[in-house]
Structure 1
Protein backbone atom coordinates (compact mmCIF):
# COMPACT_ATOMS: atom_id res chain seq x y z
CA UNK A 1 0.00 0.00 0.00
CA UNK A 2 2.77 2.41 0.89
CA UNK A 3 4.59 1.48 -2.31
CA UNK A 4 1.53 2.21 -4.38
CA UNK A 5 1.23 5.60 -2.78
CA UNK A 6 4.87 6.30 -3.44
CA UNK A 7 4.49 5.35 -7.07
CA UNK A 8 1.41 7.49 -7.29
CA UNK A 9 3.31 10.31 -5.71
CA UNK A 10 6.16 9.87 -8.16
CA UNK A 11 3.75 9.82 -11.06
CA UNK A 12 2.16 12.96 -9.77
CA UNK A 13 5.51 14.67 -9.50
CA UNK A 14 6.48 13.58 -12.97
CA UNK A 15 3.32 14.91 -14.47
CA UNK A 16 3.76 18.25 -12.75
CA UNK A 17 7.34 18.60 -14.03
CA UNK A 18 6.27 17.82 -17.56
CA UNK A 19 3.62 20.47 -17.41
CA UNK A 20 6.21 23.05 -16.29
CA UNK A 21 8.55 22.15 -19.16
CA UNK A 22 5.72 22.57 -21.63
CA UNK A 23 5.01 26.06 -20.38
CA UNK A 24 8.66 27.13 -20.73
CA UNK A 25 8.83 25.99 -24.38
CA UNK A 26 5.75 27.96 -25.26
CA UNK A 27 7.15 31.06 -23.67
CA UNK A 28 10.48 30.52 -25.41
CA UNK A 29 8.77 30.15 -28.73
CA UNK A 30 6.74 33.26 -28.07
CA UNK A 31 9.88 35.19 -27.25
CA UNK A 32 11.62 33.90 -30.32
CA UNK A 33 8.62 34.80 -32.42
CA UNK A 34 8.47 38.25 -30.87
CA UNK A 35 12.15 38.75 -31.46
CA UNK A 36 11.71 37.61 -35.04
CA UNK A 37 8.89 40.07 -35.51
CA UNK A 38 10.93 42.84 -33.89
CA UNK A 39 13.87 42.00 -36.10
CA UNK A 40 11.61 42.03 -39.14
CA UNK A 41 10.19 45.37 -38.07
CA UNK A 42 13.69 46.72 -37.53
CA UNK A 43 14.74 45.43 -40.95
CA UNK A 44 11.64 46.95 -42.51
CA UNK A 45 12.33 50.20 -40.70
CA UNK A 46 15.89 50.18 -41.88
CA UNK A 47 14.79 49.37 -45.43
CA UNK A 48 12.19 52.11 -45.30
CA UNK A 49 14.73 54.46 -43.80
CA UNK A 50 17.15 53.61 -46.61
CA UNK A 51 14.44 54.21 -49.18
CA UNK A 52 13.57 57.54 -47.53
CA UNK A 53 17.22 58.51 -47.48
CA UNK A 54 17.48 57.56 -51.16
CA UNK A 55 14.41 59.64 -52.01
CA UNK A 56 15.83 62.51 -49.99
CA UNK A 57 19.11 62.23 -51.84
CA UNK A 58 17.24 62.22 -55.15
CA UNK A 59 15.36 65.33 -54.11
CA UNK A 60 18.59 66.99 -53.06
CA UNK A 61 20.16 66.09 -56.39
CA UNK A 62 17.11 67.41 -58.25
CA UNK A 63 17.28 70.63 -56.21
CA UNK A 64 20.97 70.96 -57.01
CA UNK A 65 20.22 70.44 -60.71
CA UNK A 66 17.49 73.07 -60.57
CA UNK A 67 19.84 75.45 -58.78
CA UNK A 68 22.49 74.90 -61.44
CA UNK A 69 19.94 75.37 -64.22
CA UNK A 70 18.69 78.54 -62.55
CA UNK A 71 22.23 79.88 -62.34
CA UNK A 72 22.80 79.04 -65.99
CA UNK A 73 19.56 80.81 -66.88
CA UNK A 74 20.62 83.84 -64.87
CA UNK A 75 23.94 83.90 -66.69
CA UNK A 76 22.20 83.55 -70.05
CA UNK A 77 19.77 86.33 -69.14
CA UNK A 78 22.68 88.52 -68.11
CA UNK A 79 24.40 87.77 -71.41
CA UNK A 80 21.21 88.51 -73.32
CA UNK A 81 20.78 91.77 -71.44
CA UNK A 82 24.36 92.68 -72.24
CA UNK A 83 23.79 91.76 -75.87
CA UNK A 84 20.57 93.81 -75.92
CA UNK A 85 22.35 96.80 -74.41
CA UNK A 86 25.08 96.49 -77.00
CA UNK A 87 22.50 96.17 -79.77
CA UNK A 88 20.67 99.22 -78.42
CA UNK A 89 23.94 101.15 -78.35
CA UNK A 90 24.83 100.00 -81.85
CA UNK A 91 21.36 100.96 -83.06
CA UNK A 92 21.69 104.36 -81.41
CA UNK A 93 25.09 104.84 -83.04
CA UNK A 94 23.69 103.84 -86.44
CA UNK A 95 20.72 106.17 -86.04
CA UNK A 96 23.01 109.02 -85.01
CA UNK A 97 25.26 108.33 -87.99
CA UNK A 98 22.26 108.23 -90.30
CA UNK A 99 21.03 111.50 -88.83
CA UNK A 100 24.44 113.08 -89.31
CA UNK A 101 24.59 111.77 -92.86
CA UNK A 102 21.09 113.04 -93.58
CA UNK A 103 21.97 116.41 -92.06
CA UNK A 104 25.13 116.52 -94.14
CA UNK A 105 23.16 115.72 -97.27
CA UNK A 106 20.61 118.40 -96.39
CA UNK A 107 23.38 120.91 -95.80
CA UNK A 108 25.00 120.05 -99.12
CA UNK A 109 21.67 120.25 -100.89
CA UNK A 110 20.98 123.62 -99.29
CA UNK A 111 24.31 124.82 -100.65
CA UNK A 112 23.36 123.87 -104.20
CA UNK A 113 19.57 123.83 -104.41
CA UNK A 114 17.84 127.06 -105.47
CA UNK A 115 15.92 128.84 -102.76
CA UNK A 116 12.92 131.11 -102.94
CA UNK A 117 13.68 134.78 -102.34
CA UNK A 118 11.22 137.59 -101.65
CA UNK A 119 12.74 141.00 -102.28
CA UNK A 120 10.99 144.36 -102.75
CA UNK A 121 7.72 142.58 -103.59
CA UNK A 122 9.42 140.34 -106.13
CA UNK A 123 9.63 136.56 -105.72
CA UNK A 124 12.26 134.50 -107.51
CA UNK A 125 14.56 131.51 -107.12
CA UNK A 126 18.28 131.92 -106.50
CA UNK A 127 21.22 129.62 -105.85
CA UNK A 128 22.71 129.76 -102.35
CA UNK A 129 26.03 130.98 -103.74
CA UNK A 130 24.20 133.67 -105.69
CA UNK A 131 22.36 134.79 -102.55
CA UNK A 132 25.56 134.88 -100.53
CA UNK A 133 27.38 136.90 -103.20
CA UNK A 134 24.61 139.48 -103.40
CA UNK A 135 24.34 139.85 -99.64
CA UNK A 136 28.11 140.17 -99.28
CA UNK A 137 28.28 142.85 -101.98
CA UNK A 138 25.46 144.94 -100.51
CA UNK A 139 26.92 144.57 -97.01
CA UNK A 140 30.19 145.98 -98.34
CA UNK A 141 28.29 148.92 -99.82
CA UNK A 142 26.58 149.61 -96.48
CA UNK A 143 29.95 149.61 -94.78
CA UNK A 144 31.04 152.52 -97.01
CA UNK A 145 33.71 150.63 -98.93
CA UNK A 146 32.59 151.89 -102.34
CA UNK A 147 35.56 150.56 -104.28
CA UNK A 148 35.07 147.00 -103.05
CA UNK A 149 31.29 147.25 -103.39
CA UNK A 150 31.59 148.48 -106.99
CA UNK A 151 33.88 145.56 -107.85
CA UNK A 152 31.69 143.00 -106.07
CA UNK A 153 28.45 144.20 -107.67
CA UNK A 154 30.06 144.36 -111.10
CA UNK A 155 31.31 140.79 -110.70
CA UNK A 156 27.87 139.70 -109.54
CA UNK A 157 26.17 141.08 -112.65
CA UNK A 158 28.72 139.49 -114.92
CA UNK A 159 28.30 136.09 -113.27
CA UNK A 160 24.49 136.18 -112.82
CA UNK A 161 23.19 138.60 -115.48
CA UNK A 162 19.70 137.06 -115.41
CA UNK A 163 19.47 136.84 -111.62
CA UNK A 164 16.40 137.99 -109.79
CA UNK A 165 18.82 140.26 -107.94
CA UNK A 166 20.08 141.82 -111.18
CA UNK A 167 17.85 144.90 -111.10
CA UNK A 168 18.73 145.79 -107.53
CA UNK A 169 22.37 144.91 -108.14
CA UNK A 170 22.43 147.56 -110.89
CA UNK A 171 20.76 150.07 -108.62
CA UNK A 172 23.31 149.50 -105.84
CA UNK A 173 26.15 149.48 -108.34
CA UNK A 174 25.05 152.94 -109.45
CA UNK A 175 25.13 154.06 -105.81
CA UNK A 176 28.63 152.63 -105.37
CA UNK A 177 29.80 154.46 -108.50
CA UNK A 178 28.22 157.64 -107.22
CA UNK A 179 30.03 157.16 -103.90
CA UNK A 180 33.29 156.80 -105.87
CA UNK A 181 32.39 159.97 -107.78
CA UNK A 182 32.22 157.97 -110.99
CA UNK A 183 29.26 160.06 -112.12
CA UNK A 184 29.37 159.06 -115.78
CA UNK A 185 29.47 155.39 -114.90
CA UNK A 186 26.67 155.87 -112.38
CA UNK A 187 24.46 157.57 -115.02
CA UNK A 188 24.91 154.62 -117.36
CA UNK A 189 24.11 152.14 -114.60
CA UNK A 190 21.06 153.99 -113.27
CA UNK A 191 19.62 154.37 -116.78
CA UNK A 192 20.16 150.66 -117.40
CA UNK A 193 18.30 149.94 -114.18
CA UNK A 194 15.37 152.19 -115.16
CA UNK A 195 15.19 150.69 -118.63
CA UNK A 196 15.16 147.12 -117.27
CA UNK A 197 12.71 147.78 -114.43
CA UNK A 198 10.71 150.98 -115.02
CA UNK A 199 8.02 149.85 -112.57
CA UNK A 200 10.44 149.03 -109.79
CA UNK A 201 9.84 150.82 -106.50
CA UNK A 202 13.34 152.31 -106.69
CA UNK A 203 13.06 153.54 -110.28
CA UNK A 204 12.08 157.10 -109.22
CA UNK A 205 15.09 157.25 -106.89
CA UNK A 206 17.33 156.06 -109.72
CA UNK A 207 16.10 158.83 -112.02
CA UNK A 208 16.68 161.40 -109.28
CA UNK A 209 20.18 159.96 -108.88
CA UNK A 210 20.80 160.44 -112.61
CA UNK A 211 19.85 164.10 -112.24
CA UNK A 212 22.20 164.48 -109.26
CA UNK A 213 25.05 162.95 -111.30
CA UNK A 214 24.33 165.38 -114.13
CA UNK A 215 24.41 168.26 -111.68
CA UNK A 216 27.79 167.05 -110.37
CA UNK A 217 29.00 166.99 -113.99
CA UNK A 218 27.66 170.53 -114.54
CA UNK A 219 25.14 169.24 -117.05
CA UNK A 220 22.37 171.49 -115.83
CA UNK A 221 20.34 171.20 -119.02
CA UNK A 222 20.42 167.45 -118.85
CA UNK A 223 19.56 167.51 -115.14
CA UNK A 224 16.51 169.73 -115.77
CA UNK A 225 15.28 167.37 -118.45
CA UNK A 226 15.75 164.37 -116.20
CA UNK A 227 13.93 166.03 -113.29
CA UNK A 228 11.06 167.02 -115.55
CA UNK A 229 10.78 163.44 -116.79
CA UNK A 230 10.88 162.22 -113.17
CA UNK A 231 7.91 164.41 -112.17
CA UNK A 232 6.02 163.35 -115.26
CA UNK A 233 6.68 159.61 -115.02
CA UNK A 234 6.49 159.20 -111.25
CA UNK A 235 4.44 162.20 -110.07
CA UNK A 236 3.31 160.64 -106.79
CA UNK A 237 6.72 159.46 -105.66
CA UNK A 238 8.81 161.02 -102.91
CA UNK A 239 11.62 161.31 -105.45
CA UNK A 240 9.36 163.50 -107.62
CA UNK A 241 8.79 165.85 -104.66
CA UNK A 242 12.52 166.10 -104.06
CA UNK A 243 13.10 166.53 -107.80
CA UNK A 244 10.69 169.43 -107.94
CA UNK A 245 12.60 171.21 -105.19
CA UNK A 246 15.90 170.44 -106.88
CA UNK A 247 14.60 171.74 -110.21
CA UNK A 248 13.51 174.97 -108.57
CA UNK A 249 17.00 175.48 -107.20
CA UNK A 250 18.72 175.08 -110.57
CA UNK A 251 19.61 178.19 -112.56
Structure 2
Protein backbone atom coordinates (compact mmCIF):
# COMPACT_ATOMS: atom_id res chain seq x y z
CA UNK A 1 0.00 0.00 0.00
CA UNK A 2 2.54 2.44 0.71
CA UNK A 3 4.12 1.69 -2.61
CA UNK A 4 0.79 2.10 -4.34
CA UNK A 5 0.16 5.37 -2.61
CA UNK A 6 3.45 6.60 -3.70
CA UNK A 7 2.57 5.61 -7.25
CA UNK A 8 -0.71 7.61 -7.20
CA UNK A 9 1.03 10.46 -5.64
CA UNK A 10 3.62 10.46 -8.33
CA UNK A 11 0.92 10.29 -10.99
CA UNK A 12 -0.92 13.12 -9.31
CA UNK A 13 2.13 15.23 -9.28
CA UNK A 14 2.78 14.45 -12.90
CA UNK A 15 -0.78 15.44 -13.71
CA UNK A 16 -0.35 18.62 -11.84
CA UNK A 17 2.78 19.33 -13.76
CA UNK A 18 1.04 18.65 -17.12
CA UNK A 19 -1.97 20.92 -16.38
CA UNK A 20 -0.04 24.19 -16.06
CA UNK A 21 1.75 23.50 -19.32
CA UNK A 22 -1.54 22.85 -21.13
CA UNK A 23 -3.04 25.91 -19.52
CA UNK A 24 -0.15 28.01 -20.77
CA UNK A 25 -0.61 26.73 -24.30
CA UNK A 26 -4.33 27.49 -24.12
CA UNK A 27 -3.75 31.03 -22.93
CA UNK A 28 -1.35 31.84 -25.78
CA UNK A 29 -3.84 30.62 -28.42
CA UNK A 30 -6.60 32.58 -26.85
CA UNK A 31 -4.47 35.64 -26.69
CA UNK A 32 -3.47 35.28 -30.33
CA UNK A 33 -7.08 34.81 -31.33
CA UNK A 34 -8.06 37.78 -29.24
CA UNK A 35 -5.31 39.84 -30.84
CA UNK A 36 -6.40 38.69 -34.30
CA UNK A 37 -10.00 39.47 -33.48
CA UNK A 38 -8.96 42.84 -32.16
CA UNK A 39 -6.89 43.49 -35.23
CA UNK A 40 -9.77 42.48 -37.47
CA UNK A 41 -12.17 44.64 -35.55
CA UNK A 42 -9.68 47.51 -35.65
CA UNK A 43 -9.12 47.00 -39.38
CA UNK A 44 -12.86 46.79 -39.94
CA UNK A 45 -13.32 49.92 -37.85
CA UNK A 46 -10.57 51.70 -39.79
CA UNK A 47 -12.09 50.57 -43.07
CA UNK A 48 -15.50 51.79 -41.94
CA UNK A 49 -13.96 55.07 -40.85
CA UNK A 50 -12.17 55.44 -44.16
CA UNK A 51 -15.39 54.67 -46.03
CA UNK A 52 -17.27 57.14 -43.88
CA UNK A 53 -14.54 59.73 -44.32
CA UNK A 54 -14.64 59.19 -48.07
CA UNK A 55 -18.40 59.56 -48.01
CA UNK A 56 -18.05 62.72 -45.93
CA UNK A 57 -15.44 64.02 -48.37
CA UNK A 58 -17.80 63.40 -51.26
CA UNK A 59 -20.65 65.09 -49.39
CA UNK A 60 -18.41 68.04 -48.49
CA UNK A 61 -17.23 68.28 -52.07
CA UNK A 62 -20.85 68.29 -53.25
CA UNK A 63 -21.78 70.87 -50.65
CA UNK A 64 -18.76 72.99 -51.57
CA UNK A 65 -19.68 72.73 -55.24
CA UNK A 66 -23.25 73.73 -54.46
CA UNK A 67 -21.99 76.61 -52.32
CA UNK A 68 -19.75 77.77 -55.16
CA UNK A 69 -22.66 77.60 -57.58
CA UNK A 70 -24.86 79.47 -55.09
CA UNK A 71 -22.18 82.12 -54.64
CA UNK A 72 -21.77 82.39 -58.40
CA UNK A 73 -25.52 82.73 -58.83
CA UNK A 74 -25.62 85.32 -56.05
CA UNK A 75 -22.76 87.23 -57.64
CA UNK A 76 -24.55 87.16 -60.98
CA UNK A 77 -27.69 88.43 -59.28
CA UNK A 78 -25.69 91.19 -57.60
CA UNK A 79 -24.18 92.18 -60.94
CA UNK A 80 -27.66 92.23 -62.45
CA UNK A 81 -28.89 94.39 -59.58
CA UNK A 82 -25.90 96.73 -59.98
CA UNK A 83 -26.54 96.97 -63.72
CA UNK A 84 -30.22 97.66 -63.11
CA UNK A 85 -29.38 100.29 -60.50
CA UNK A 86 -26.92 101.90 -62.90
CA UNK A 87 -29.54 101.86 -65.63
CA UNK A 88 -32.15 103.34 -63.30
CA UNK A 89 -29.62 105.91 -62.09
CA UNK A 90 -28.92 106.82 -65.68
CA UNK A 91 -32.64 107.09 -66.33
CA UNK A 92 -33.05 109.29 -63.26
CA UNK A 93 -30.20 111.54 -64.40
CA UNK A 94 -31.65 111.74 -67.89
CA UNK A 95 -35.07 112.41 -66.42
CA UNK A 96 -33.59 115.17 -64.26
CA UNK A 97 -31.94 116.68 -67.35
CA UNK A 98 -35.19 116.41 -69.29
CA UNK A 99 -37.11 118.05 -66.46
CA UNK A 100 -34.53 120.85 -66.22
CA UNK A 101 -34.69 121.39 -69.97
CA UNK A 102 -38.48 121.37 -69.89
CA UNK A 103 -38.46 123.88 -67.04
CA UNK A 104 -36.03 126.09 -68.97
CA UNK A 105 -38.18 125.93 -72.09
CA UNK A 106 -41.29 126.60 -70.04
CA UNK A 107 -39.60 129.59 -68.42
CA UNK A 108 -38.44 130.89 -71.81
CA UNK A 109 -41.90 130.35 -73.24
CA UNK A 110 -43.48 132.13 -70.29
CA UNK A 111 -41.01 134.98 -70.66
CA UNK A 112 -41.84 135.18 -74.34
CA UNK A 113 -45.56 135.18 -73.59
CA UNK A 114 -45.10 137.84 -70.92
CA UNK A 115 -43.09 139.91 -73.37
CA UNK A 116 -45.75 139.58 -76.05
CA UNK A 117 -48.42 140.46 -73.49
CA UNK A 118 -46.45 143.51 -72.43
CA UNK A 119 -46.20 144.52 -76.07
CA UNK A 120 -49.96 144.22 -76.43
CA UNK A 121 -51.02 145.69 -73.11
CA UNK A 122 -52.00 149.36 -73.32
CA UNK A 123 -49.78 151.79 -71.46
CA UNK A 124 -50.86 154.94 -69.69
CA UNK A 125 -49.60 158.13 -71.34
CA UNK A 126 -49.79 161.74 -70.19
CA UNK A 127 -49.15 164.28 -72.96
CA UNK A 128 -50.12 167.96 -73.32
CA UNK A 129 -52.28 167.90 -70.18
CA UNK A 130 -54.08 164.80 -71.44
CA UNK A 131 -54.00 161.26 -70.08
CA UNK A 132 -54.91 158.29 -72.24
CA UNK A 133 -54.09 154.67 -73.02
CA UNK A 134 -51.96 153.70 -76.00
CA UNK A 135 -50.71 150.46 -77.48
CA UNK A 136 -46.97 149.89 -76.95
CA UNK A 137 -46.38 149.93 -80.72
CA UNK A 138 -48.42 153.11 -81.04
CA UNK A 139 -46.32 154.80 -78.37
CA UNK A 140 -43.09 153.54 -79.93
CA UNK A 141 -43.93 154.98 -83.36
CA UNK A 142 -44.88 158.36 -81.93
CA UNK A 143 -41.77 158.54 -79.76
CA UNK A 144 -39.55 157.68 -82.72
CA UNK A 145 -41.14 160.35 -84.92
CA UNK A 146 -40.90 162.96 -82.16
CA UNK A 147 -37.24 162.07 -81.63
CA UNK A 148 -36.64 162.90 -85.30
CA UNK A 149 -38.16 166.37 -84.69
CA UNK A 150 -35.66 166.90 -81.87
CA UNK A 151 -32.81 165.85 -84.17
CA UNK A 152 -33.96 168.34 -86.82
CA UNK A 153 -34.59 165.54 -89.35
CA UNK A 154 -37.81 167.13 -90.54
CA UNK A 155 -38.19 165.03 -93.67
CA UNK A 156 -38.11 161.71 -91.80
CA UNK A 157 -40.22 163.16 -88.98
CA UNK A 158 -42.85 164.36 -91.46
CA UNK A 159 -43.03 160.92 -93.07
CA UNK A 160 -43.19 159.21 -89.69
CA UNK A 161 -45.94 161.45 -88.31
CA UNK A 162 -48.01 161.23 -91.52
CA UNK A 163 -47.80 157.44 -91.39
CA UNK A 164 -48.66 157.47 -87.70
CA UNK A 165 -51.81 159.56 -88.25
CA UNK A 166 -52.96 157.26 -91.05
CA UNK A 167 -52.49 154.19 -88.88
CA UNK A 168 -53.85 155.70 -85.64
CA UNK A 169 -56.32 158.44 -86.65
CA UNK A 170 -58.18 158.20 -83.32
CA UNK A 171 -55.07 157.95 -81.15
CA UNK A 172 -54.67 160.05 -78.04
CA UNK A 173 -51.47 161.23 -79.75
CA UNK A 174 -53.36 162.49 -82.81
CA UNK A 175 -53.55 166.21 -81.85
CA UNK A 176 -49.91 166.35 -80.75
CA UNK A 177 -48.84 164.40 -83.84
CA UNK A 178 -50.74 166.88 -86.06
CA UNK A 179 -49.08 169.85 -84.34
CA UNK A 180 -45.58 168.42 -84.75
CA UNK A 181 -46.32 167.40 -88.31
CA UNK A 182 -47.04 171.06 -89.02
CA UNK A 183 -43.70 172.01 -87.43
CA UNK A 184 -41.88 169.38 -89.51
CA UNK A 185 -43.49 170.74 -92.66
CA UNK A 186 -42.59 174.29 -91.63
CA UNK A 187 -38.98 173.13 -91.13
CA UNK A 188 -39.03 171.90 -94.75
CA UNK A 189 -40.54 175.22 -95.92
CA UNK A 190 -43.72 173.44 -96.86
CA UNK A 191 -45.74 176.37 -95.58
CA UNK A 192 -49.09 175.60 -97.18
CA UNK A 193 -48.97 172.01 -95.93
CA UNK A 194 -47.97 173.26 -92.49
CA UNK A 195 -50.93 175.72 -92.43
CA UNK A 196 -53.27 172.84 -93.29
CA UNK A 197 -51.91 170.72 -90.44
CA UNK A 198 -52.17 173.52 -87.86
CA UNK A 199 -55.74 174.33 -88.95
CA UNK A 200 -56.65 170.65 -88.60
CA UNK A 201 -55.54 170.81 -84.97
CA UNK A 202 -57.45 174.05 -84.33
CA UNK A 203 -60.65 172.83 -85.89
CA UNK A 204 -60.51 169.49 -84.13
CA UNK A 205 -59.45 170.69 -80.69
CA UNK A 206 -59.33 174.47 -80.19
CA UNK A 207 -58.78 173.96 -76.45
CA UNK A 208 -55.58 172.01 -76.99
CA UNK A 209 -52.60 173.45 -75.07
CA UNK A 210 -50.72 173.84 -78.37
CA UNK A 211 -53.60 175.68 -80.08
CA UNK A 212 -52.14 179.21 -79.47
CA UNK A 213 -48.77 178.09 -80.83
CA UNK A 214 -50.52 176.56 -83.83
CA UNK A 215 -52.18 179.92 -84.63
CA UNK A 216 -48.88 181.76 -84.29
CA UNK A 217 -47.25 179.16 -86.55
CA UNK A 218 -49.96 179.77 -89.18
CA UNK A 219 -49.19 183.48 -89.05
CA UNK A 220 -45.47 182.75 -89.48
CA UNK A 221 -46.21 180.55 -92.49
CA UNK A 222 -48.34 183.36 -93.99
CA UNK A 223 -45.51 185.81 -93.44
CA UNK A 224 -43.12 183.43 -95.22
CA UNK A 225 -45.64 183.25 -98.07
CA UNK A 226 -45.72 187.08 -98.18
CA UNK A 227 -49.35 187.05 -97.06
CA UNK A 228 -49.02 189.91 -94.56
CA UNK A 229 -52.71 190.77 -94.47
CA UNK A 230 -53.66 187.19 -93.70
CA UNK A 231 -50.88 187.04 -91.10
CA UNK A 232 -52.19 190.16 -89.32
CA UNK A 233 -55.71 188.70 -89.21
CA UNK A 234 -54.41 185.42 -87.83
CA UNK A 235 -52.46 187.19 -85.12
CA UNK A 236 -55.53 189.27 -84.28
CA UNK A 237 -57.59 186.13 -83.93
CA UNK A 238 -54.83 184.67 -81.76
CA UNK A 239 -54.79 187.60 -79.40
CA UNK A 240 -58.56 187.60 -79.18
CA UNK A 241 -58.90 183.83 -78.62
CA UNK A 242 -55.92 183.33 -76.31
CA UNK A 243 -55.06 186.76 -74.92
CA UNK A 244 -53.04 185.55 -71.95
CA UNK A 245 -50.96 182.99 -73.82
CA UNK A 246 -47.24 183.38 -74.54
CA UNK A 247 -48.07 182.89 -78.21
CA UNK A 248 -50.42 185.90 -78.08
CA UNK A 249 -47.65 188.05 -76.57
CA UNK A 250 -45.22 186.90 -79.26
CA UNK A 251 -47.93 187.59 -81.86
CA UNK A 252 -48.34 191.15 -80.67
CA UNK A 253 -44.61 191.73 -81.03
CA UNK A 254 -44.66 190.17 -84.47
CA UNK A 255 -47.65 192.26 -85.47
CA UNK A 256 -45.79 195.40 -84.55
CA UNK A 257 -42.96 194.43 -86.85
CA UNK A 258 -45.45 193.92 -89.69
CA UNK A 259 -46.59 197.58 -89.47
Normalised TM-score (structure 2):
0.76
- Residues 41-120 of structure 1: pairs in structure 2 closer than 5 A: 41-94=49-102, 113=120, 115-120=122-127
User: Aligned to 2:212, which of 204, 209, 219?
Assistant: 204
If you compute each CA radius of gyration, which structure gives the higher value, 1 or 2? 2
The answer to whether the 8 Å contact 1:190/1:207 transfers is yes
- The count of residues paired between Structure 1 and Structure 2 equals 249
- Counterpart for residue 190 of structure 2: 182
CA distance 1:16–1:169, shift in 2 (3 Å):
same
Deviation at 1:163, TM superposition (A): 2.6
The separation in 2 between residues aligned to 1:102 and 1:145, in whole angstroms, is 39
1:147-158 mapped onto 2 (5 Å cutoff): 147-158=155-166
Which position in structure 2 is the counterpart of 1:124?
A: 133
Gaps of 5+ in 2: 1-6
Q: Tell whether 2:151 aligns with 1:146.
A: no
Report if the CA contact (8 A) 1:126-1:163 is conserved: no
Answer yes or no: is 1:13 the counterpart of 2:21: yes
Return the offset for 1:169.
1.8
Q: Deviation at 1:127? A: 6.8
Gaps of 5+ in 1: none
- Corresponding residue number in structure 2 for 1:37: 45
Q: State the partner residue of 1:28.
A: 36
In the alignment, what sits opposite 1:161?
A: 169
Equivalent position SS for 1:118 = strand
Q: Deviations over 1:136-168 (max 9, x none)?
A: 443444443333433443343334322332212
**What secondary structure does 2:171 align onto?**
coil
Distance in 2, matches of 1:31 and 1:117, equals: 125
- Helix, strand or coil at the partner of 1:122: strand
Asked whether the 8 Å contact 1:116–1:124 carries over to 2, the reply is yes
Q: Measure the CA separation in 1 of the matches of 2:209 and 2:33.
A: 149
Q: CA RMSD in A?
A: 3.3
Distance 1:225 1:43 in 2: 146
Q: Is the 8 A contact 1:234 1:240 kept in 2?
A: yes
Distance 1:9 1:238, change over 3 A: same
